[in-house]
Protein backbone atom coordinates (compact mmCIF):
# COMPACT_ATOMS: atom_id res chain seq x y z
CA UNK A 1 0.00 0.00 0.00
CA UNK A 2 2.78 2.45 0.89
CA UNK A 3 4.50 1.78 -2.46
CA UNK A 4 1.21 2.44 -4.25
CA UNK A 5 0.71 5.56 -2.12
CA UNK A 6 4.13 6.86 -3.12
CA UNK A 7 3.08 6.60 -6.79
CA UNK A 8 0.13 8.93 -6.21
CA UNK A 9 0.47 12.73 -6.46
CA UNK A 10 1.14 14.52 -3.19
CA UNK A 11 -2.26 16.21 -3.52
CA UNK A 12 -3.92 13.01 -2.30
CA UNK A 13 -2.25 13.55 1.07
CA UNK A 14 -4.24 16.71 1.75
CA UNK A 15 -7.06 16.00 4.20
CA UNK A 16 -10.50 15.96 2.58
CA UNK A 17 -11.83 14.57 -0.70
CA UNK A 18 -9.51 14.18 -3.72
CA UNK A 19 -10.37 16.87 -6.27
CA UNK A 20 -10.21 14.72 -9.40
CA UNK A 21 -9.61 11.16 -10.49
CA UNK A 22 -6.05 9.99 -10.17
CA UNK A 23 -4.47 7.46 -12.51
CA UNK A 24 -1.20 5.56 -12.28
CA UNK A 25 0.40 3.29 -14.90
CA UNK A 26 -0.25 -0.44 -14.50
CA UNK A 27 2.96 -1.90 -13.09
CA UNK A 28 4.42 -4.70 -11.04
CA UNK A 29 6.17 -3.97 -7.76
CA UNK A 30 8.67 -6.52 -6.44
CA UNK A 31 10.03 -5.27 -3.14
CA UNK A 32 11.16 -6.57 0.24
CA UNK A 33 12.92 -5.08 3.26
CA UNK A 34 16.59 -5.74 4.05
CA UNK A 35 16.12 -5.69 7.84
CA UNK A 36 13.29 -7.09 9.97
CA UNK A 37 13.46 -4.38 12.67
CA UNK A 38 12.96 -0.90 11.19
CA UNK A 39 12.09 1.35 14.07
CA UNK A 40 12.05 4.55 15.98
CA UNK A 41 11.83 5.26 19.70
CA UNK A 42 9.72 7.99 21.29
CA UNK A 43 10.90 9.10 24.73
CA UNK A 44 7.49 9.92 26.26
CA UNK A 45 9.01 10.10 29.75
CA UNK A 46 11.06 13.30 29.65
CA UNK A 47 8.11 14.97 27.93
CA UNK A 48 4.75 13.21 27.59
CA UNK A 49 3.03 12.79 24.20
CA UNK A 50 -0.76 12.34 24.37
CA UNK A 51 -2.18 9.22 22.63
CA UNK A 52 -3.38 11.20 19.59
CA UNK A 53 0.18 12.40 18.94
CA UNK A 54 1.59 8.90 19.31
CA UNK A 55 -0.95 7.77 16.69
CA UNK A 56 0.19 10.64 14.47
CA UNK A 57 3.71 9.27 14.67
CA UNK A 58 2.44 5.80 13.85
CA UNK A 59 0.89 7.27 10.68
CA UNK A 60 4.21 8.90 9.76
CA UNK A 61 6.45 5.93 10.48
CA UNK A 62 4.20 3.50 8.61
CA UNK A 63 4.25 5.88 5.64
CA UNK A 64 8.01 5.18 5.60
CA UNK A 65 7.58 1.38 5.98
CA UNK A 66 9.02 1.43 9.51
CA UNK A 67 7.50 -1.36 11.57
CA UNK A 68 8.63 -0.92 15.17
CA UNK A 69 7.63 1.78 17.66
CA UNK A 70 9.69 1.58 20.86
CA UNK A 71 7.98 3.60 23.63
CA UNK A 72 10.35 4.73 26.39
CA UNK A 73 7.59 4.68 29.05
CA UNK A 74 9.53 5.19 32.28
CA UNK A 75 12.58 7.17 33.30
CA UNK A 76 13.71 9.54 36.07
CA UNK A 77 11.31 12.32 35.06
CA UNK A 78 8.11 10.44 34.35
CA UNK A 79 6.30 7.09 34.66
CA UNK A 80 3.84 7.04 31.75
CA UNK A 81 1.91 3.75 31.90
CA UNK A 82 -0.83 2.81 34.39
CA UNK A 83 0.11 -0.23 36.51
CA UNK A 84 -3.03 -1.26 38.39
CA UNK A 85 -1.20 -3.03 41.22
CA UNK A 86 1.06 0.02 41.79
CA UNK A 87 -1.29 2.97 40.99
CA UNK A 88 0.99 5.69 42.35
CA UNK A 89 3.60 5.01 39.64
CA UNK A 90 1.48 6.80 37.05
CA UNK A 91 -0.52 9.07 39.37
CA UNK A 92 2.51 10.50 41.21
CA UNK A 93 5.40 9.33 39.04
CA UNK A 94 3.64 10.56 35.88
CA UNK A 95 2.56 13.93 37.27
CA UNK A 96 5.37 16.07 35.91
CA UNK A 97 8.12 16.23 33.25
CA UNK A 98 11.49 17.82 32.42
CA UNK A 99 11.18 21.50 33.31
CA UNK A 100 8.43 20.86 35.87
CA UNK A 101 5.50 21.14 33.48
CA UNK A 102 2.41 18.95 33.39
CA UNK A 103 3.14 15.27 32.85
CA UNK A 104 0.55 12.67 31.93
CA UNK A 105 0.27 8.96 31.46
CA UNK A 106 -1.45 6.29 29.33
CA UNK A 107 -4.19 4.34 31.03
CA UNK A 108 -4.05 0.69 30.08
CA UNK A 109 -7.01 1.40 27.79
CA UNK A 110 -5.07 4.22 26.08
CA UNK A 111 -2.10 1.90 25.62
CA UNK A 112 -4.26 -0.91 24.22
CA UNK A 113 -5.75 1.61 21.78
CA UNK A 114 -2.28 2.73 20.64
CA UNK A 115 -1.15 -0.89 20.24
CA UNK A 116 -4.20 -1.72 18.10
CA UNK A 117 -3.82 1.45 16.01
CA UNK A 118 -0.21 0.44 15.38
CA UNK A 119 -1.09 -3.18 14.60
CA UNK A 120 -3.52 -2.14 11.88
CA UNK A 121 -0.61 -0.27 10.27
CA UNK A 122 1.83 -3.17 10.57
CA UNK A 123 3.73 -1.43 13.37
CA UNK A 124 4.69 -3.42 16.49
CA UNK A 125 4.84 -1.52 19.79
CA UNK A 126 7.86 -2.34 21.97
CA UNK A 127 7.40 -0.96 25.51
CA UNK A 128 10.39 -0.03 27.65
CA UNK A 129 10.55 0.21 31.44
CA UNK A 130 14.11 1.40 32.04
CA UNK A 131 15.85 -0.27 35.00
CA UNK A 132 17.81 -0.53 37.30
CA UNK A 133 18.84 3.12 36.69
CA UNK A 134 16.63 5.88 35.25
CA UNK A 135 14.10 4.97 37.96
CA UNK A 136 13.57 8.15 40.00
CA UNK A 137 9.88 8.40 39.02
CA UNK A 138 9.21 4.92 40.47
CA UNK A 139 11.37 5.54 43.56
CA UNK A 140 9.58 8.86 44.17
CA UNK A 141 6.22 7.06 44.03
CA UNK A 142 6.84 4.35 46.67
CA UNK A 143 9.10 4.95 49.71
CA UNK A 144 9.29 1.18 50.21
CA UNK A 145 11.15 0.82 46.89
CA UNK A 146 14.07 2.85 48.26
CA UNK A 147 16.84 1.14 50.25
CA UNK A 148 16.52 3.78 52.99
CA UNK A 149 12.70 3.77 52.91
CA UNK A 150 12.65 7.43 51.91
CA UNK A 151 11.08 8.49 48.60
CA UNK A 152 13.15 11.11 46.72
CA UNK A 153 11.35 14.15 45.30
CA UNK A 154 10.09 14.04 41.70
CA UNK A 155 12.93 14.97 39.31
CA UNK A 156 12.52 17.54 36.55
CA UNK A 157 16.16 18.01 35.53
CA UNK A 158 18.18 16.30 32.78
CA UNK A 159 20.96 14.45 34.60
CA UNK A 160 21.29 10.69 34.02
CA UNK A 161 22.55 7.70 36.00
CA UNK A 162 21.96 9.06 39.52
CA UNK A 163 19.07 6.73 40.38
CA UNK A 164 18.96 2.97 40.97
CA UNK A 165 16.43 0.46 42.26
CA UNK A 166 17.26 -1.21 45.57
CA UNK A 167 18.44 -4.37 43.82
CA UNK A 168 19.07 -6.38 47.01
CA UNK A 169 15.55 -5.90 48.43
CA UNK A 170 12.72 -8.41 47.85
CA UNK A 171 10.10 -5.69 47.31
CA UNK A 172 12.00 -4.62 44.16
CA UNK A 173 11.32 -8.01 42.54
CA UNK A 174 7.66 -7.99 43.57
CA UNK A 175 7.48 -4.58 41.87
CA UNK A 176 9.26 -5.87 38.74
CA UNK A 177 7.11 -9.02 38.60
CA UNK A 178 3.90 -6.95 38.81
CA UNK A 179 5.04 -4.36 36.25
CA UNK A 180 6.27 -6.96 33.73
CA UNK A 181 3.16 -9.10 34.24
CA UNK A 182 0.77 -6.22 33.62
CA UNK A 183 2.76 -4.77 30.72
CA UNK A 184 3.13 -8.19 29.05
CA UNK A 185 -0.62 -8.76 29.33
CA UNK A 186 -1.39 -5.61 27.29
CA UNK A 187 1.51 -6.01 24.82
CA UNK A 188 0.72 -8.49 22.02
CA UNK A 189 4.22 -8.10 20.51
CA UNK A 190 6.93 -10.53 21.66
CA UNK A 191 9.43 -7.91 22.88
CA UNK A 192 9.73 -6.17 26.25
CA UNK A 193 12.55 -3.62 26.68
CA UNK A 194 13.99 -3.35 30.20
CA UNK A 195 16.51 -0.59 29.52
CA UNK A 196 19.67 -1.36 31.54
CA UNK A 197 21.53 1.80 30.51
CA UNK A 198 23.75 4.26 32.39
CA UNK A 199 23.99 2.58 35.79
CA UNK A 200 26.36 4.51 38.05
CA UNK A 201 25.21 3.47 41.52
CA UNK A 202 25.61 -0.33 41.42
CA UNK A 203 28.59 -2.68 41.32
CA UNK A 204 29.13 -4.82 38.21
CA UNK A 205 28.14 -7.88 40.25
CA UNK A 206 24.89 -6.25 41.42
CA UNK A 207 24.09 -5.13 37.88
CA UNK A 208 24.77 -8.56 36.35
CA UNK A 209 22.67 -10.35 38.97
CA UNK A 210 19.86 -7.86 38.45
CA UNK A 211 19.74 -8.09 34.64
CA UNK A 212 19.91 -11.88 34.66
CA UNK A 213 17.05 -12.02 37.19
CA UNK A 214 14.91 -9.57 35.21
CA UNK A 215 15.61 -11.56 32.04
CA UNK A 216 14.05 -14.64 33.68
CA UNK A 217 11.01 -12.62 34.81
CA UNK A 218 10.52 -11.39 31.22
CA UNK A 219 10.90 -14.94 29.93
CA UNK A 220 8.40 -16.26 32.51
CA UNK A 221 5.81 -13.94 30.98
CA UNK A 222 6.50 -15.25 27.51
CA UNK A 223 8.36 -12.20 26.25
CA UNK A 224 11.81 -11.66 24.75
CA UNK A 225 14.04 -9.22 26.63
CA UNK A 226 15.50 -6.19 24.87
CA UNK A 227 18.10 -3.99 26.56
CA UNK A 228 20.62 -1.22 25.83
CA UNK A 229 24.15 -2.43 25.11
CA UNK A 230 25.25 -2.37 28.76
CA UNK A 231 23.42 -5.70 29.16
CA UNK A 232 25.85 -7.41 26.76
CA UNK A 233 28.25 -7.96 29.70
CA UNK A 234 25.68 -10.24 31.38
CA UNK A 235 24.66 -13.85 30.60
CA UNK A 236 21.93 -13.52 27.97
CA UNK A 237 19.44 -15.94 26.46
CA UNK A 238 20.04 -16.23 22.71
CA UNK A 239 16.47 -14.98 22.26
CA UNK A 240 17.32 -11.68 23.97
CA UNK A 241 18.02 -8.59 21.85
CA UNK A 242 20.73 -5.99 22.50
CA UNK A 243 20.31 -2.41 21.30
CA UNK A 244 23.74 -0.95 20.53
CA UNK A 245 23.75 2.80 21.06
CA UNK A 246 27.43 3.35 21.81
CA UNK A 247 29.55 3.03 18.62
CA UNK A 248 32.70 2.40 20.67
CA UNK A 249 31.29 -0.66 22.44
CA UNK A 250 32.11 -3.88 20.62
CA UNK A 251 29.19 -6.25 19.96
CA UNK A 252 31.58 -9.21 20.08
CA UNK A 253 30.45 -10.45 23.52
CA UNK A 254 26.79 -10.16 22.54
CA UNK A 255 27.26 -11.85 19.16
CA UNK A 256 29.21 -14.64 20.86
CA UNK A 257 26.13 -15.34 23.01
CA UNK A 258 24.04 -15.73 19.86
CA UNK A 259 21.81 -12.73 20.58
CA UNK A 260 20.51 -10.46 17.84
CA UNK A 261 21.47 -6.80 17.60
CA UNK A 262 19.57 -3.59 16.89
CA UNK A 263 21.89 -0.75 15.86
CA UNK A 264 21.16 2.79 17.11
CA UNK A 265 24.57 4.52 16.94
CA UNK A 266 24.24 7.81 18.82
CA UNK A 267 26.47 9.63 16.33
CA UNK A 268 24.20 8.64 13.41
CA UNK A 269 20.58 8.19 14.50
CA UNK A 270 20.05 9.91 17.86
CA UNK A 271 17.34 12.24 16.57
CA UNK A 272 17.60 14.47 19.65
CA UNK A 273 21.01 15.63 18.38
CA UNK A 274 21.03 19.09 16.80
CA UNK A 275 21.21 19.26 12.97
CA UNK A 276 23.85 21.97 13.26
CA UNK A 277 24.97 24.66 15.72
CA UNK A 278 21.99 26.85 14.74
CA UNK A 279 19.42 24.23 15.75
CA UNK A 280 17.47 25.47 18.76
CA UNK A 281 16.07 22.13 19.94
CA UNK A 282 18.15 19.14 20.84
CA UNK A 283 21.40 18.20 22.53
CA UNK A 284 24.91 18.06 21.13
CA UNK A 285 26.92 15.67 23.35
CA UNK A 286 27.13 13.11 20.50
CA UNK A 287 27.90 15.75 17.87
CA UNK A 288 25.63 17.38 15.31
CA UNK A 289 23.74 15.05 12.96
CA UNK A 290 22.70 16.44 9.58
CA UNK A 291 20.68 14.41 7.09
CA UNK A 292 23.78 13.12 5.32
CA UNK A 293 25.28 11.86 8.64
CA UNK A 294 22.07 9.93 9.31
CA UNK A 295 22.13 8.42 5.81
CA UNK A 296 25.74 7.77 4.83
CA UNK A 297 26.52 4.72 6.99
CA UNK A 298 25.62 1.04 7.02
CA UNK A 299 24.61 -1.28 9.89
CA UNK A 300 26.75 -4.10 8.52
CA UNK A 301 29.82 -1.85 8.39
CA UNK A 302 29.53 -0.48 11.95
CA UNK A 303 31.72 -3.03 13.67
CA UNK A 304 34.30 -5.42 12.23
CA UNK A 305 32.92 -8.20 14.42
CA UNK A 306 29.24 -7.68 13.66
CA UNK A 307 28.06 -9.98 10.87
CA UNK A 308 24.93 -8.84 9.06
CA UNK A 309 23.29 -12.12 10.11
CA UNK A 310 23.34 -10.85 13.73
CA UNK A 311 21.73 -7.54 12.85
CA UNK A 312 17.98 -7.59 13.46
CA UNK A 313 17.74 -4.03 12.22
CA UNK A 314 18.02 -0.33 12.90
CA UNK A 315 16.18 2.05 15.22
CA UNK A 316 16.33 5.82 15.66
CA UNK A 317 15.75 7.00 19.26
CA UNK A 318 14.21 10.44 19.84
CA UNK A 319 14.98 11.45 23.43
CA UNK A 320 12.83 14.32 24.68
CA UNK A 321 14.80 16.31 27.25
CA UNK A 322 14.53 19.36 24.99
CA UNK A 323 11.65 18.22 22.77
CA UNK A 324 8.30 19.28 24.20
CA UNK A 325 5.33 18.80 21.85
CA UNK A 326 4.44 17.01 18.64
CA UNK A 327 5.78 19.79 16.41
CA UNK A 328 9.15 19.59 18.16
CA UNK A 329 9.13 15.79 17.81
CA UNK A 330 8.34 16.10 14.07
CA UNK A 331 11.04 18.74 13.52
CA UNK A 332 13.74 16.53 15.01
CA UNK A 333 12.49 13.36 13.34
CA UNK A 334 12.03 14.67 9.79
CA UNK A 335 13.91 14.46 7.46
CA UNK A 336 16.45 12.26 9.26
CA UNK A 337 13.95 9.47 9.98
CA UNK A 338 13.41 9.08 6.22
CA UNK A 339 17.15 8.38 5.91
CA UNK A 340 16.93 5.72 8.63
CA UNK A 341 13.86 4.21 6.95
CA UNK A 342 15.82 3.76 3.73
CA UNK A 343 18.72 2.14 5.63
CA UNK A 344 16.24 -0.30 7.16
CA UNK A 345 14.54 -1.14 3.87
CA UNK A 346 16.88 -0.82 0.86
CA UNK A 347 19.89 -2.95 -0.09
CA UNK A 348 23.18 -1.22 0.74
CA UNK A 349 24.21 -1.16 -2.94
CA UNK A 350 21.09 0.88 -3.77
CA UNK A 351 21.90 3.65 -1.33
CA UNK A 352 23.68 6.64 -2.88
CA UNK A 353 23.60 10.00 -1.06
CA UNK A 354 23.53 12.16 -4.24
CA UNK A 355 20.51 10.21 -5.50
CA UNK A 356 18.75 9.97 -2.12
CA UNK A 357 18.91 13.73 -1.52
CA UNK A 358 17.01 14.38 -4.77
CA UNK A 359 14.32 11.84 -3.93
CA UNK A 360 14.08 13.37 -0.49
CA UNK A 361 13.71 16.84 -2.05
CA UNK A 362 10.64 15.56 -3.92
CA UNK A 363 8.97 14.64 -0.62
CA UNK A 364 8.49 18.29 0.38
CA UNK A 365 5.02 18.71 -1.20
CA UNK A 366 3.90 15.40 0.24
CA UNK A 367 5.17 16.22 3.73
CA UNK A 368 3.68 19.71 3.54
CA UNK A 369 0.33 18.22 2.48
CA UNK A 370 0.54 15.97 5.53
CA UNK A 371 1.31 18.97 7.74
CA UNK A 372 4.66 17.57 8.89
CA UNK A 373 6.78 20.21 10.61
CA UNK A 374 9.97 19.04 8.88
CA UNK A 375 13.36 20.78 8.99
CA UNK A 376 14.38 22.24 5.62
CA UNK A 377 17.98 21.05 5.79
CA UNK A 378 20.26 23.13 3.50
CA UNK A 379 21.71 19.81 2.30
CA UNK A 380 18.50 19.10 0.37
CA UNK A 381 17.21 21.02 -2.71
CA UNK A 382 13.63 20.92 -1.43
CA UNK A 383 11.05 20.98 -4.22
CA UNK A 384 8.44 23.06 -2.41
CA UNK A 385 5.17 23.54 -4.30
CA UNK A 386 5.07 27.10 -5.61
N1 LIG B 1 21.61 8.75 26.96
C2 LIG B 1 20.50 8.17 27.75
C3 LIG B 1 19.10 8.66 27.39
C4 LIG B 1 19.06 10.14 27.03
C5 LIG B 1 20.12 10.43 25.96
C6 LIG B 1 19.98 11.86 25.45
C7 LIG B 1 20.65 6.19 26.28
C8 LIG B 1 20.52 4.70 26.13
C9 LIG B 1 21.48 10.16 26.55
N10 LIG B 1 20.53 6.69 27.55
O11 LIG B 1 20.85 6.89 25.31
O12 LIG B 1 18.23 8.43 28.50
O13 LIG B 1 19.26 10.94 28.18
O14 LIG B 1 20.71 12.04 24.26
Within a domain: 386 = no
Within a domain: 339 = yes
Q: How far is the CA of 102 from the centre of ligand 1 (A)?
A: 22
Domains identified in the chain, total number: 1
Q: What is the CATH number of the domain that holds 196?
A: 3.20.20.80
Average predicted confidence (pLDDT) for the chain: 97
Kindly state if the Cβ of 82 falls inside 6 Å of ligand 1. no
> In a mutational test of the pocket of ligand 1, which residue from 73, 78, 197 has the highest number of ligand atoms less than 8 Å from its CB?
197
At residue 356, φ and ψ (nearest 5 deg) are -60, -40
> What's the mean pLDDT in 237-243?
98
The CA-atom distances, in angstroms, between 1 and each of 4, 29, 30, 207, 363 are 5, 11, 13, 45, 17
Q: How far is the CA of 5 from the centre of ligand 1 (A)?
A: 35
At residue 2, φ and ψ (nearest 5 deg) are -65, -35
Within a domain: 139 = yes
Helix axes 326-333, 336-345, angle to 10 degrees: 60
Within a domain: 74 = yes
Query: pLDDT (tens digit, 9 = 90+) per residue, 52-81?
Result: 999 999 999 999 999 999 999 999 999 999
Query: pLDDT (tens digit, 9 = 90+) per residue, 26-50?
Result: 999 999 999 999 999 999 999 999 9
At 160, is the secondary structure helix, strand, or coil? coil
Kindly state if the Cβ of 244 falls inside 6 Å of ligand 1. no
Cβ of 329: how many Cβ atoms within 10 Å? 27
For residue 270, which atom of ligand 1 is closest to its CA?
A: 14
Kindly state if the Cβ of 158 falls inside 6 Å of ligand 1. no
* Residues 53/56/58/63 CA torsion (nearest 10 deg): -160
The whole-angstrom separation of Cα 105 and Cα 2 is 31
Within a domain: 91 = yes
Q: What is the pLDDT of residue 385?
A: 65
Q: How far is the CA of 266 from the centre of ligand 1 (A)?
A: 9
Domain that holds residue 124: 33-347
Within a domain: 374 = no
Within a domain: 197 = yes
At residue 137, φ and ψ (nearest 5 deg) are -60, -40
Q: How far is the CA of 29 from the centre of ligand 1 (A)?
A: 39
User: Of 206, 340, 227, which Cα lies nearest the Cα of 273?
Assistant: 340
Within a domain: 20 = no
**pTM as predicted:** 0.98
Amino acid sequence: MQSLRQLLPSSVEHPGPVAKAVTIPSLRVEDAPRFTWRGMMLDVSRHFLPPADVKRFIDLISLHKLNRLHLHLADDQGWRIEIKSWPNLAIHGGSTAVGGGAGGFYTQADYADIVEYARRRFVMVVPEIDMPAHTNAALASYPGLNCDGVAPPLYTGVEVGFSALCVDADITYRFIEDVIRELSAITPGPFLHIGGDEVKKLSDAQYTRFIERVQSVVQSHGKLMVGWDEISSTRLLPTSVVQFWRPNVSPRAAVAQGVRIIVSPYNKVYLDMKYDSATVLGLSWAGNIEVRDAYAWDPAMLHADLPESSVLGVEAPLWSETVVDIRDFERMAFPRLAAVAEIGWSPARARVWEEFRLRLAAQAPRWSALGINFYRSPQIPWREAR
